[in-house]
């Protein structure tokens, strides 16, 4: 199976990613509708085919907690590239991504992310990082939802690391709804540094959202830890 994925699935995945990327850029540029692109290309076009070609099955629970009418910050653990297609397919909301600035110069992906006006963040520069988070807050004020891989980078061992406080700073300031999301199994299918995907099942669990006002005495750091513990609990339910 892994040999079939390597010889057939990977080449088709690359071709499909190119087709999807240029389709998204066309919609965003010609029709001048980045949000239309976000509602169709990532979750309905690119992700399902990508996961199929790479031999990945998904189990998604908790979609009733993802309310497209309520602008929210979806905070997710991050351990694999596969987290991305699973999230955009499984969370039934048009998501604006907070992406690391290094992606901006990547062929196809970087062009697509730029064309759809996603939010780039420089995690090495605190001031610029907070400017990016302010942009995220503006999107939420406009009625859009944002997805944040709150650890800031992929976990090297699959364990959920400390959540960075940027997303929680703006959530605290504006009492924005926070939705914990756990991805389980992506690390086992494709850990950081690995090239070959191991076919398997990835679970996406969307938890019940909460607002900072539910924890009126919590600092930003404590709010980040509350969210982290909720994500850990969601993952533990799957691992039982």
Residues 175-188: tens digit of each pLDDT: 999 999 999 999 99
Task: Kindly indicate the confidence band of residue 150, based on its pLDDT and cuts at 50, 70 and 90.
Answer: very high
Q: What is the pLDDT of residue 1?
A: 78
**For 200-215, what is each residue's pLDDT tens digit?**
999 999 999 999 999 9
Stronger pLDDT, 3 or 58, i.e. the higher one: 58
Backbone angles phi, psi at 124, to 5 degrees: -85, -10
Domain boundaries, the chain: 2-239
The SS3 assignment for 183 reads strand
Kind of pairing, strands 145-149 and 119-121? unpaired
Average pLDDT over residues 154-160: 93
Of 181, 190, 122, 178, which is closest to residue 154 (Cα–Cα)?
190
Spatial CA neighbour of 192 closest among 76, 51, 54, 80:
80
Q: Answer for the pair 23, 40: CB distance below 8 angstroms, yes or no.
A: no
Share of the chain above pLDDT 70, in %: 100
Local structure of 36: helix, strand or coil? helix
Q: Which of 123, 105, 126 is nearest to 114 (CA)?
A: 105
Q: Report, at the CATH architecture level, how domain 2-239 is classified.
A: 3-Layer(aba) Sandwich (3.40)
Query: Tokens 């699959």, residue?
Result: 158
- Predicted structure pTM score: 0.92
What is the distance between the alpha carbons of residues 30 and 33, in angstroms, rounded to a whole number? 8
Q: What is the per-residue pLDDT across 64-110, written as a single tens digit (0 to 9) for each?
A: 999 999 999 999 999 999 999 999 999 999 888 887 777 777 777 88
């Amino acid at each position: 199976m892994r040999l079939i994925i390597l010889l057939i699935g990977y080449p088709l995945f690359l071709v499909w990613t190119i087709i999807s990327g240029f389709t998204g850029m066309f919609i965003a540029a010609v029709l001048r509708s980045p949000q239309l692109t976000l509602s169709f290309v990532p979750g309905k076009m690119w992700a399902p085919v990508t996961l199929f070609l790479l031999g990945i099955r998904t189990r998604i629970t908790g979609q009733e907690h993802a309310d497209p009418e309520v602008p929210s910050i979806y905070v997710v653990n991050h351990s694999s590239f596969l987290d991305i297609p699973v999230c955009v397919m499984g969370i039934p909301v048009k998501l604006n991504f907070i992406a690391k600035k290094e992606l901006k110069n990547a062929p196809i992906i970087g062009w697509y992310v730029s064309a759809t006006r996603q939010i780039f963040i420089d995690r090495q520069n605190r001031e610029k990082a907070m400017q990016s988070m302010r942009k995220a807050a503006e999107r939420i004020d406009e009625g859009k939802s944002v997805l944040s891989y709150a650890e800031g980078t992929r976990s090297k061992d699959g364990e959920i690391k400390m959540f960075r406080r940027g997303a929680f700073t703006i959530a605290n300031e504006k009492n924005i709804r926070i939705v914990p999301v756990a991805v389980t199994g992506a690390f086992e299918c494709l850990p950081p540094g690995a090239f070959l995907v191991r076919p398997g099942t990835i679970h996406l669990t969307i938890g019940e959202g909460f607002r900072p006002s539910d924890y009126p005495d919590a600092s930003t750091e404590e709010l980040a830890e509350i969210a982290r513990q909720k994500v850990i609990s969601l993952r533990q339910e799957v691992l039982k």
